[in-house]
Amino acid sequence: MQLKCPKCGSKDISRKGFRKNSSGKKQKFRCYECKKWFVKDEGFNRMRFNPSVIVRAVHMHEDGMSLSKVQNHLWQHDKVKVTRGAISLWIKKYSIFLKSHSFKLKARN
- Give me the residue spans of the domains in the chain: 1-41, 51-108
Instruction: Give the 3-state secondary structure percentages of the chain, helix then strand then coil, rounded to 5.
Output: 45, 20, 35
- What pLDDT is attached to residue 1? 53
Helix 51-62 / helix 84-108 crossing angle, nearest 10 deg? 90
β-pair type (24-31, 13-21)? antiparallel
pLDDT bracket for residue 32 (50, 70, 90): very high
pTM over 0.75: no
pLDDT bracket for residue 94 (50, 70, 90): confident
pLDDT bracket for residue 97 (50, 70, 90): confident
